Structure 1
Amino acid sequence: MQNALFVGVSSQVALARELDVIANNMANVSTTGFKARNARFEEYLMPTASADSFMGADRRVSYVIDSGTPLDLSQGPVEPDGNPMHVAVKGDAFLSVKTPSGDRFTRNGAFELDARGTLVTSDGYAVQGDNGPITVSQQETGLSIAPDGTVSTNLGVRGKIRLVTFKNAQVLKSEGANLFSSTQAPQAAGIDGRLEPGTLERSNVKPVVEMTRLMDVNRTYSMISSVISRLDDLRGTAIRRLADVA
């Protein structure tokens, strides 16, 4: 009976983790370039059942453990908005940006110019070019971004936006503010990524799917709570009856 309670609790812990993932996805349904995460779980077999005092071989107990939250790297909807400084990343590439903590990676292509004329994201992080941040002067006009990332003005080419890929993008760690970090060295995207100027990639979160998952998690969590409550009542009844016999 004790093992059954532990199995139920392990399931509830896993479901609580999945609920956090769903809540984060729903909170970013309108975030430009956001990539959803999914919850993954696996079975953990306890080699012995310590509370099993019956004759014969010990029985293995099956628990639930969290095996990770992989990224959903599918392309989000691309919507035109007519802004020449906005770009959608197509393919498996990421934009490289400079932050106080070092280089980070994002799919947020909502660019603008800051007070110093540096091309930055909507969160104020400098967009990295092949030769560092890209800057234009106040006298320049007609800024445009080509599909290969080349940034030009009326005075010519000002740089080329750096697009990178990773051998295994699942190693990317979410850092908040729609940024990722990686211990794996990025590689030049090449043909694996390009930009679509005048558009933005929206979040790839599917609200209907997430709401369905939310209802399933709540229903399952409530069901397990009911089972645990009944097992606890059963244990209490057993203890009282054994005490009466004694």
Structure 2
Amino acid sequence: MSRQIGLQRQMDVVANNMANLNTSGFKAENLLFEEYKMPVARDRDFFYPDQPLSYTNDWGTVHDLSSGPLLDTDNPLDVALQGEGFLVVETPEGERYTKAGSLGIGPDGTLMDPSGNPILGTGGPIQFDASEIDISISADGIVSSSAGTKGTLRMVEFADPQTVERFGNNLWTGGTPVPATATRIVQGSIEKSNVSGIAEMSEMIRVQRAYESVASLIQKQDDQRRTAIQKLGSLNA
């Protein structure tokens, strides 16, 4: 039963990966499992002096932060981050991080992410006037337009990327961010999801079959116990 619970959790993770197959900048997730030996419970159905019971424990979730393929859009406000860096976003809950590079300009001229959160530069939000054209973003994040340099995109990396957590709306939180040194920006492109549809579909089928196999085993054990009880009851009668 503990294995079934783990498989159900794994199916949720696979389904979430599949649902975000076309989400720009999305990073796939995988579950880590470990054996948990019950310290007090014992299984005495076998002829051994000690049979500790082992359970399946979904130990944690691992983020696959490998780069996804780049899609050329020729939109000057689209950026793809090559490397492990993230853009910094200002939200009502504080600073968050994103790989989603489909940027836009809000009604007040602020550079924003797809959810309408301001993208932060090294000096704060980056602003444009309505008359500005020819927006350019260099590989190191310098933003300029017909009015000159507007600021530098703030990019961060993490010494241990597995310490960051999903926040929702393709944003991340947590970890200890440091200024990015090994990340470059590609203007006019976006990074697609790194989820492999074929691999995830295969994993979904494997998990489903494993779940059904465990369910069948449990049902057979219940049938054996029921048959044994019925036969023992008839003998006593």
Both proteins in one fold, TM over 0.5: yes
User: What is the RMSD computed on CA atoms of the aligned residues?
Assistant: 1.4
Aligned position for 1:239: 229
Q: Is residue 129 of structure 2 the alignment partner of residue 148 of structure 1?
A: no
Aligned positions, number: 236
User: What's the TM-score, normalizing by structure 2?
Assistant: 0.95
* Residues 56 and 40 of structure 1: CA distance in aligned 2, closer, same or farther (over 3 Å): closer
Aligned position for 1:114: 106
Aligned position for 2:170: 178
Structure 2: distance between partners of 1:210 and 1:50: 37
1:46 is paired with a residue of what secondary structure?
A: strand
Q: How far is the alpha carbon of 1:95 from its aligned partner?
A: 0.8
Q: Is residue 69 of structure 2 the alignment partner of residue 69 of structure 1?
A: no
Equivalent AA in structure 1 for residue 219 of structure 2: S
Equivalent AA in structure 1 for residue 195 of structure 2: V
2:63 is paired with a residue of what secondary structure?
A: coil
* Structure ranking higher in strand proportion: 2
Structure 2: distance between partners of 1:133 and 1:126: 6
Q: How far is the alpha carbon of 1:51 from its aligned partner?
A: 5.0
Equivalent AA in structure 2 for residue 152 of structure 1: S
* Residues 209 and 56 of structure 1: CA distance in aligned 2, closer, same or farther (over 3 Å): closer
Aligned position for 1:168: 160
User: What's the TM-score, normalizing by structure 1?
Assistant: 0.92
Equivalent AA in structure 1 for residue 72 of structure 2: P
Structure 1: distance between partners of 2:65 and 2:48: 49
Aligned position for 1:12: 4
* Residues 164-202 of structure 1: per-residue CA shift (max 9 Å, x gap): 0011110111111111110x3210002x11100010000
Aligned position for 1:6: none
* Residues 189-237 of structure 1: per-residue CA shift (max 9 Å, x gap): 02x1110001000000000000000010111111111110000111111
- Listed as ranges, the gaps of 5+ residues in structure 2 are none
Q: How far is the alpha carbon of 1:79 from its aligned partner?
A: 1.2
Equivalent AA in structure 1 for residue 215 of structure 2: S
Runs ≥4 in structure 1, deviation > 4 angstroms?
53-56
Equivalent AA in structure 1 for residue 177 of structure 2: P
- Listed as ranges, the gaps of 5+ residues in structure 1 are 1-8
Aligned position for 1:5: none
Q: How far is the alpha carbon of 1:140 from its aligned partner?
A: 1.7
